[in-house]
Amino acid sequence: MTIRVLLADDQALLRATFRILIDSCEDMEVVGEATDGEEAVALARSLRPDLVLMDIRMPGTDGLAATSAICADPDLADTRVLILTTFEIDEYVAEALRAGASGFLGKDVTADALLAGVRTVAAGDSLLSPLATRTVITRFLAVPPKGARPAVPADLAPLTAREREVMASVAEGHSNDEIAGKLFVSPLTVRTHVHRAMTKLGARDRAQLVVIAYQSGLVQAPPRG
């Protein structure tokens, strides 16, 4: 199946570069280009892409607002957002993850890493680089945004003990294979637990499960420094 990608970036040269790269692959194609967040939301609703490659800093409606709108739209439940940013560890990235983005990449990413990232997110998995994951979680995700109701342990009541255990391991950055080895189960069993936890908690994907794990207190962020 071909992965349908929408590009959202105000830099024409960057969009052209990504289009050439993505269209060169047999398993993906660019179906549209947006120059700001408002256009990205409109095109996402009309084109229904599998994935939006979204820049955060754009004039007018930025990528953060666009990500929130796309991820909150029930008609776009199957559309994933992959953030592209110059600053991998800034607060905007944390806000994008809270809004439902499935992960992010630095704009200096290699061609192979970008294509692998598109495939990973389109398949329903999250894409969080080790550096960005640790830093963003420690600095931002463990602290609820102002005015928001923080998650509490009671919010995890629907989960079984094993689902909480698997969720905690996911939040700590372990892969399904690593979790399977630690718990002496198959990777398929781990994946099943992850998907059940996502369904019960209303998480769009693995990245949002990580956010919930830290904000609920299931996992404690390491102290800064």
172/165 Cα distance (integer angstroms): 11
User: pLDDT tens string for the chain (225 positions)?
Assistant: 899 999 999 999 999 999 999 999 999 999 999 999 999 999 999 999 999 999 988 888 889 999 999 999 999 988 999 988 776 555 677 778 778 888 888 878 889 988 988 998 888 776 665 555 555 555 555 555 555 555 555 678 899 999 999 999 888 878 888 899 999 999 999 999 999 998 999 887 787 888 788 778 788 766 555
Q: Which pLDDT does position 144 carry in this prediction?
A: 54
Q: Would you say the CATH fold of 148-215 matches that of 3-140?
A: no
84/77 Cα distance (integer angstroms): 20
Amino acid at 189: T
Q: How far is CA 54 from the centre of its chain?
A: 11
Q: Which pLDDT does position 133 carry in this prediction?
A: 55
183/176 Cα distance (integer angstroms): 10
User: Alpha carbon of 22 to those of 50, 53, 180: distances in Å?
Assistant: 13, 11, 33
The class that CATH gives domain 3-140 is: alpha beta
Give the domain ranges of the chain: 3-140, 148-215
11/86 Cα distance (integer angstroms): 13
* Contact yes or no for 171/218 (Cβ under 8 A): yes
Q: Which pLDDT does position 94 carry in this prediction?
A: 73
Spell out where 57-180 has E strands: 80-85, 103-106
**4: enclosing H helix or E strand:** strand 3-8
123/214 Cα distance (integer angstroms): 24
Fold of domain 148-215: Arc Repressor Mutant, subunit A (1.10.10)
Amino acid at 11: Q
Tokens coding 31: 């179906």
